[in-house]
Structures are given as structure tokens and as C-alpha cells.
Amino acid sequence: MPQTMAQRRTGGIVLVLAFAGITVAVMQTLLVPVIKDLPALLTTAPTNATWVMTSTLLAGAVATPIMGRLGDLYGKRRMLITSLAVMVGGSLVCGFTSELLVMIVGRALQGFAMGAIPLGIGLMRDELPREKLGSALALMSSSIGVGGGLALPLAALVAQHADWHALFFGAAGLGVLAILLTLAVVPESGVRAEGRFDAAGALGLSLGLVLFLLPITKGSDWGWSSATTLGLFAAALVVLVLWGLMELRMKAPLVDLRTTARREVLLTNLASITVGVAFYAISLVLPQLLQLPTATGYGLGQSMVVAGLCVAPLGLTMMFTAPVYARLSARYGPKLTLMLGMLIIAVGYGAGLGLMSAAWQTIVISVIVGAGIGLAYSSLPALINGAVDPSETGAANGLNTLMRSIGTSVSSAVIGMVLANTAHHAGPVAVPTMQGFRISFLIATAAVALGLLLAVFLPRSRTMSTPQLLASSEEETEAVRDTHAVPAIPGPRAVPAAPGPRAGFRGRVLDPAGAPVARARVALIDPRGRRAGTALTDHDGRYSVAVPDGGAYVLAAMVAGHAPRASAAVHPGEDRPVEVDLVLRAGAGERRTAVQS
């Protein structure tokens, strides 16, 4: 019975966090069906109306890494609720106005919800057992596509048969429901990072991102070779370089650039950009192709609602690939599933070059590309989580989500430019051509090919699937077996988890000669096999790791040149540390002693 209740609790957490992700995706996609009508609806010029979309993008780009870091420091659930509450406020602002400036402010507030994705990923890592984590992360990572796919036809239906402001009230309702479900079902994570919030780093990154993304999104209006566009790119480069130098000198930076520069993290983030490019290309091309009149000779003449329904399988397929990803990743690792996903995307776009003459063919393209993007997006958080410490999960996934957003922004700018330059002008109206659609698909294929090349150089996952720690007693052997597996603890800087004021374990890690071992990684594993804390030894071999509560734990020490070792230890739950010294041996079959006092 307790196991059934635990399974229900775990399932509830996954469903609620995935629903929060879908809510964010709905907010993003909400105005797509009426985007061409925005100038008339807001009584403004087309160039001004684009700020309604641009403001959401800029706010989301700024909020994603910042909310991730705040979640690591002050609680991921707390920041998730904050993100959703700001989105609800922005939705209500938009719902009660038709003024351009007020609408831009409301849409910017809605953009803050983008931080919910990395926060949800971080909560899943902290709260779920390892055997459930793969499929849960896949579902959370794919929720953007799922929400977008579902929102397109529903938003089109609302836009056709009701006042367009109803779209914002619907988004506000979803946000309120997501907040209530989160409060009722999702517990707060006990994993915390040390240090203070880097306000200067947040301001510097925000300024750099705005300066970089503004010319990307507005370059086609301003001119790509204009002084404004080039000047903003140059200013972004200067600001981001200075920000990076400042972050390297900070004790608790907003983004740990040393971790970000590690091969597995850097290559994963770069691959994320290419997947973002591929994801957005199909969302830009197929709705236009479907809605163009048949008089053009290639347009499919479908209504806005039918066009949304034809593209909807893109998101639905992403959702259904989550359990498939979990099985594939468990067997072959996230690197190979990422590569497989990219190959499927390439096949989908390749098929799309010849399958554009009927509505059913666009559904086939959506299904194939959606399956590939589902596998690729599901692999990204697993690769990031396998390369960073738990206390950095929110910030690291926030940065990865930002990379995907940059990919979609680049895709929007480049494909928008291609479609504009290849358009056929019938008086004042520019009609996209089949040539432009095909070039857009080729660009997406080239982007995913580059991502595949980057993925080839990713290291294989170091996460152990079976216990490899050696115990010095039968009791310890059983304790290690109960943990299922001890996760690898990557990263040059691990910080003890500090969920509360209770003291935990401390001691020294020593080599066979009794000398202290510096920079050894010590993991605290709870009885459910989850990592409850980590620490890195100092130059004297000393470590200290807090405990969330009293009870039985396993302390695992790992360092290059020695076999991983585990020691069972019990904490009484009092506010005093328990001493546990770990003596490592180089031989895989030798014993290790643990001294408790």
C-alpha cells in the first residue's frame, strides 16, 4: 500500500509539472493564429505590432536563467509559482486592453513564465526516484511542443468565433489552475545552492541578451546591414564579454561559466540551438502553406482551424515519444537518443521537400519531425543533469532552455528573411513561394546536421546503472543495494545541499597511506536511492554535508585513481554532526574502513 501511494504521489508530481509546462507553451503560441491581424486589432503599424511577440521573447530569455538560479538558491517550487503568478498577471493585463504599449507590457510579463520549464526539470530531478526520472524529464522537456501543438487549433477556434481577448483570459485560467495544482501536489525541494543571488550578473546577462536578441528579431525590419542592427550586435558582444569576465571572478555567479565550458555542457547547449532552429522552422512553414489559397498553384486552401489541426500532431507526437525515450535512454544513453532524434528530424524535413501537395502529407511531416524533436528535446535535460551538480540544476537547465529559445529566434529571423526575399509580390501583398518553403526546410536540415555533428563529440554518459560501490560490511552492502545506483557527481565544484539548519555528516577522505585526498566527491544517498546532498573535499581532505532529516544514509566517496566506496551511516536527527572518515584504497577488491563518533 505505501508503495502504491508513493507511485501515485510521484505520478501526480510529473503530471502537474508537465501541465505547468504545457501552460507556458499555450501562452507562447496563443497569438499565432491572429498575428497577421494584430496591426488592425491594435490600431498600429505592422512594425510596431511585432513588439507584442518580441517583448515575450525578450522577457522569457531574460527570466529563464535568472529564475533557474533563484530556484537553486531559494526553492524551485517557490520560483515556479512566482513565474506562473507573473504570467497570470500579464494575461489579465492583456485581456483588458487594446492599447499597444499596455499590451507589450502584459506580453512581457507573460514571458516570465518561461522560467517554469527549467524549474520543473529541477524539481523532478530532486523529487523523483531514478527509475521514473527519464520518462518524466522527457515529458517535461516535450511539454513546450505539446502545449504549442494543442494551442494552435484551439486558439484558432477561439479567434474565429469569439473576441480575441478571450485567448488571454483562457491563459490566465490555465495559469491559476497550474498554481493551485502545484501548491497541492508538488513538494518544495530540499536541495539548495550556497551563496547569494548575483544581481550584477543578472543585470549584465539581461542587457547582453536584449542587445543580442533585438537585432535578431527586428533585423528584417531595420535592415541586416543597418547601423542599428550592427551596432546592437557589437554592443551585445562587448556586454557579454565583460559579463563573462565578471562572472569568472564571482564566488557565487549567476551562471558558472567554468561548468558551462565543460565539453558535455557546452556541446549540449550548442546542439540545443540547432534543435530549436529545426523545431521552429516547421511551425513557420506548414501553417502558411496550408492557408495559402489554391489559386497560387501550391497553396492548400485550408482554414485557420484545419491548419492548426494539421500541425497539432507535431506536439502530440512529442508527448508520445516520452516513454519511448525513457526505454531507449536507459539502454543506450541520452547521447545516442539525441543523435537518433536528430536523424529522424532530418528524415522528416527531407521527406517534406516532396510532400507538400496535400493536407494529409503535412500531417505525415508533422508526425515524423515531432517524433525526432521529442527524442532530441527529451535527451537535453538528461545530458545537462548528468554533467552538473544538483545544486546547479535550475541554473544549468535554465541556460539550456535559453539556448533553445535562441535557436527558435534565429530560426524565425533567418526563415522570415528567406520567405520575404523569395516572396511573390501581388500589389502590396507578399505571397510566400514554394521555393521559399523548400529553402526553409533545407536550412532546418542543415541545422540539425550540424547538431548531429556536435552530438558525436559528446562523451558517453557516466551515470552508473548498477551499484559499483564497494562496502566493508554486510550491512553496508545491503545499504548500497537499496540505493539502486549511486549517481555520478560531475563538475569541478560541488556544494553541500542545505535544506535546513540541521547538521549532517562531516569527516575526512584519506588515501591508503592516511594522507588527505583533496577534491574527492562525497555523495549522501537516502534510502530511496536519491542523492540528498554532495560535497567536495578541501585541501585537508575535509568534507561537510547537511542532511534533510535523521535516519539511515549511504556516504559514497569517489575520486580519480581509486575505486568508488560506500559507507552506511545513521544520523540521529540532532543538530550536531556525525563524524565519518572514509579511507580509500586503490585496489578494486580491497576493504575500506569508516570511523564514526
pLDDT at 235 over 50: yes
User: What φ, ψ does residue 88 adopt, rounded to 5°?
Assistant: -60, -45
Same domain, 379 and 485: no
* pLDDT band of 545, cuts 50, 70, 90: confident
Query: Per-residue pLDDT for 423 more than 50?
Result: yes
pLDDT in tens, 447-468: 999 999 999 998 865 443 333 3
Does pLDDT of 487 surpass 60? no
145 with 284, same domain?
yes
Task: State the pLDDT at residue 451.
Answer: 92
Q: Which residue has the cell 539511515?
A: 552
Residues 439 and 447: their CA atoms lie apart, in Å, by: 12
User: pTM of the prediction?
Assistant: 0.69
Label the pairing between strands 505-510 and 542-545: antiparallel
**DSSP-derived 3-state class of residue 467:** coil
pLDDT, mean of residues 368-373: 90
540: domain CATH number is: 2.60.40.1120
Separation of CA 379 from chain center: 10
- Using pLDDT thresholds of 50, 70 and 90, give the confidence band for residue 596: very low
Same structural domain, 60 and 126: yes
Q: Residue 377 — pLDDT band, cuts 50, 70, 90?
A: confident
Position 86 scores a pLDDT of 95
Report yes or no on 216 lying in a domain.
no
Residue position matching grid coordinates 565543460: 262
Q: Are residues 488 and 440 in the same domain?
A: no
Mean pLDDT across 14-40: 84
Q: Is residue 370 part of a domain?
A: yes
* Mean pLDDT, rounded, of the chain: 79
Q: What is the pLDDT of residues 101-135, one digit of tens each?
A: 999 999 999 988 888 888 888 888 777 776 677 77
Domain co-membership, 35 together with 87? yes
Sign of dihedral through CA atoms 19, 267, 340, 459? negative
395 domain residue, yes or no: yes
According to the model, what pLDDT value does residue 474 have? 41
Largest CA distance in the chain: 86
Dihedral over alpha carbons 148, 150, 155, 158 (to 10 degrees):
-170
Instruction: Indicate whether 103 and 193 sit together in one domain.
Output: yes
pLDDT at residue 559 is higher than 90: no
Is 169 found in the same domain as 312?
Answer: yes
Residues 22 and 171 in one domain: yes
Per the DSSP assignment, residues forming a β-bridge with 594 are 582
Beta-carbon count within 10 A of 485 CB: 18
Return the pLDDT at 103. Answer: 93
Tell me which long-range contacts 3-12 makes (C-beta under 8 A, separation of at least 24). 9/185, 10/127, 10/128, 10/129, 10/132, 12/185
What pLDDT sits at residue 531? 73
Check residues 179 and 596 and name the one with the higher pLDDT.
Answer: 179
Q: Is the pLDDT of residue 481 over 50?
A: no
- Split at pLDDT 50, 70, 90, the class of 189 is confident
More confident of the two residues 390 and 58: 58
**Domain end point (choices 423, 456, 489):** 456
Q: Are 87 and 421 in contact (CB under 8 A)?
A: no
Residue environment code for 166-194, b if the CB has 16+ CB neighbours within 10 A, otherwise e: ebbbbbbebbbbbbebbeebbeebbbbbe
pLDDT, tens digit, for every residue of 271-297?
Answer: 999 998 888 788 778 888 888 888 888
Tell me: pLDDT of 96 over 80.
yes
Look at residue 528 in the predicted model and tell me its pLDDT: 67
Task: Tell me, yes or no, whether 168 and 116 share the same domain.
Answer: yes
Q: Is the pLDDT of residue 485 over 70?
A: no
Q: What is the pLDDT of residue 428?
A: 65
In whole angstroms, how far apart are CA 90 and each of 22, 86, 101, 107?
17, 6, 13, 6
Hey, which of 123-137, 159-173, 539-553 has the most confident mean pLDDT?
159-173
- Examine residue 428 and state whether it is found in any structural domain, yes or no: yes
493 phi and psi angles, rounded to 5 deg: -140, 105
Are residue 560 and residue 532 in the same domain, yes or no? yes
Q: How confident is the model at residue 504 (pLDDT cuts 50, 70, 90)?
A: confident
> Residue 494 belongs to what domain range?
474-596
pLDDT of residue 462: 45
Whether residue 60 has pLDDT greater than 60: yes
CATH number at residue 89: 1.20.1250.20
Question: How many domains is the chain built from?
Answer: 2
- 421 & 485 share domain: no
Q: Residue 3 pLDDT more than 50?
A: no
CA 569, CA 368: separation in Å to the nearest integer?
Answer: 50
Question: Which of the residue ranges 312-316, 405-409, 444-448 has the most confident prediction, judged by mean pLDDT?
Answer: 444-448
Three-class HEC string of 530-578: CEEEEEECCCCCEEEECCCCCEEEEEEEECCCCCCEEEEEEECCCCCCE
Domain termination site, one of 456, 490, 524: 456
Asked whether residue 430 falls in the same domain as residue 535, the answer is: no
Domain boundary among 429, 456, 483: 456
For residue 365, is it within any domain?
Answer: yes
Q: Is the pLDDT of residue 426 over 70?
A: no
Q: 251-278: b or e for each residue (b if 16 or more CB lie within 10 Å)?
A: eebbbbeebbebebbbbbbebbbbbbbb
Residue 345 banded pLDDT, cuts 50, 70, 90: very high
Of 444, 406, 437, 441, the C-alpha closest to 420 is 437
pLDDT of residue 391: 64
Inform me whether the pLDDT recorded for 220 exceeds 80.
no
Residue 500, pLDDT above cutoff 50 = no
Rounded Cα distance, 315 and 148, in Å: 6
Task: Give the pLDDT score at 432.
Answer: 83
pLDDT, residue 461, reads 54
